[in-house]
Amino acid sequence: MSTTHFPVAIVGGGLGGLTAARVLHVNGIESVIFDLESGPEARTQGGMLDIHEENGQKALHAAGLHGAFLKIVHEGGQAMRLLGPDGTVRVSSEDEGDGDRPEVDRGDLRDLLLNSLPEGTVHWGRKVTGARPLGDGRHEVSFTDGTVITSDLLIGADGAWSRIRPLLSDAEPAYTGISFVETDLYEADTRHPRSAAVIGGGFFIALGHGSGLLAHRETDGSLHVYTARKADEGWIDTIDFSDPVAAKAAVLAHFEGWDEDLRGLVADAETITPRRIHALPVGHRWNRVPGVTLLGDAAHVMSPFAGEGANLAMYDGAELALALAADPGDTEAALAAYEEALFPRSEASAVESAASLDTMFGEDGLEQMAGFFTSGPAGR
Ligand SMILES: Cc1cc2nc3c(=O)[nH]c(=O)nc-3n(C[C@H](O)[C@H](O)[C@H](O)COP(=O)(O)OP(=O)(O)OC[C@H]3O[C@@H](n4cnc5c(N)ncnc54)[C@H](O)[C@@H]3O)c2cc1C
């Protein structure tokens, strides 16, 4: 069993961990990332993200990558449509590009960050099983292959089911009461024209009776759809997802009476994958533990209904790196300053995300969301 020492070790190469490593790098601090994926191409990074001016874009500025980011923005991706279950269009905005929430493909954004790091920063195929304190802020991190490393500063950026979080907190994500079934429809304009037409050029929501369909048109012309339901935690286990025809029928049974074009987003799909939505307690925080901290979903996974998770992960990564760069001689002071701002920031977003969940899946979710999208600046 070999032991290698790294001054700064980040567990998790998602958007949060990559942003932290990049902002550390531009400030002259080198780090390593350990990720369980076998390589950068191991998993498709589907999904569109809108990157907010007040957090995600600030992180990209700190990373020196905002100009490059603007080049990968999905033109027209900010368009949005809200429909009722009968197919009536309640809100439709074809985006003129006001620029504060540009949409980007998650995979393109990850590649941008990955390619900005010194070669060898990310150690792929390294699944962490746990970590233990060695004293004086140092930690030992263990991997599934039996190896261990030690660090002076350990950063848990390993998502909702973090293996680093137990060093700081006993909290675990709990089921939110919402289950997703994700579907994809490829080459939509030619192969699925009715679905392409119903979704439009960007983001799409249809809501009714405690259920919803949320979808994006992706940059490659495919449609990615989240079928969302208020459901018992065991609902997904009652469906055999190895039999796509039966699985689609089981999901559509909960969308009886919905417009046929909307049902087509499931009926005509080429992939079907279940996902339960989990969240850490709102206001999750911990007492300072020397030599270790968390960022992104590891610190505050929340339901995706505020559209903030990826933005917050990147912002956390940048803020942590900037705090460390501002106080290079005193890591503990830097971590304390980072966490002091992190806790209220993530609590505010978690409150918003829990409230959005209640609104969207409440009895009058459609009316509430129609009001939300047609009020305020820029109709949001
Ligand atoms: C359905 C859905 C839709 C969403 N839509 C949006 C949206 O529109 N906008 C938005 O801002 N956010 C959205 N989010 C939230 C967003 O995806 C997350 O908040 C964001 O990805 C968190 O980034 P992260 O870097 O903290 O963690 P992750 O993206 O989870 O990255 C964690 C990394 O750690 C690695 N890892 C995990 N465990 C280990 C281990 N034991 N050892 C080594 N490596 C490990 C993983 O391989 C991964 O690379 C959505 C989430 C969901 C579920």
Q: Is the beta carbon of 317 within 6 A of some atom in ligand 1?
A: no
Is the C-beta atom of 107 inside 6 A of ligand 1? no
Q: What is the per-residue pLDDT for 377?
A: 44
Highest mean pLDDT among 37-41, 91-95, 307-311: 307-311
Answer yes or no: is pLDDT of 252 > 60.
yes
**Tens digits of per-residue pLDDT, 259-296?**
999 999 999 999 999 999 999 999 999 999 999 999 99
DSSP-H helix ranges across the chain: 15-26, 56-62, 66-71, 106-115, 188-191, 193-199, 244-252, 260-267, 297-300, 309-326, 331-360, 365-374
Average pLDDT, the chain: 93
Question: What percent of the chain has a predicted confidence (pLDDT) above 70?
Answer: 96
Residue 276 three-state SS: strand
Q: Judge whether 109 and 50 are in contact, CB under 8 Å.
A: no
2 band by pLDDT with thresholds 50, 70 and 90: low
Q: pLDDT tens digits, residue range 115-125?
A: 999 999 999 99
Q: How far is the CA of 281 from the centre of ligand 1 (A)?
A: 17
Taking the alpha carbons of 198, 203, 208, 212 in that order, is the dihedral positive or negative?
A: positive
Distance, CA 20 to ligand 1 centroid (Å)? Answer: 14
Per residue in 14-69, pLDDT (tens digit) is: 999 999 999 999 999 999 999 999 988 877 766 889 999 999 999 999 999 999 99
Ligand 1: residue of 34, 49, 103, 114 to mutate (most ligand atoms within 8 A of CB) is 49
How far apart CA 21 and CA 317 sit, in angstroms, is 8
How many angstroms is it from 14 CA to the middle of ligand 1? 6
146's CB contacts (< 8 A; 6+ apart) are 1
310: CB partners within 8 A, 6+ apart: 15, 49, 51, 56, 106
Measured between alpha carbons, how far apart are the two ends of the chain, in Å?
A: 55
With a CB cutoff of 8 Å and minimum separation 6, the contacts of 356 are 303, 305, 306
Identify whether the C-beta of residue 179 lies closer than 8 Å to the C-beta of residue 236.
yes
Distance between Cα 272 and ligand 1 center (Å)? 20
Would the CB of 191 count as within 6 Å of ligand 1? Answer: no
CA of 173 from ligand 1 middle (Å) equals 13
pTM (predicted TM-score): 0.94
What number does the ligand 1 atom closest to the CA of 143 have?
Answer: 42
Predicted local confidence at residue 48, as pLDDT: 87
**Residue 181 has what pLDDT?**
97
* Confidence band, pLDDT 50/70/90 cuts, at residue 93: confident
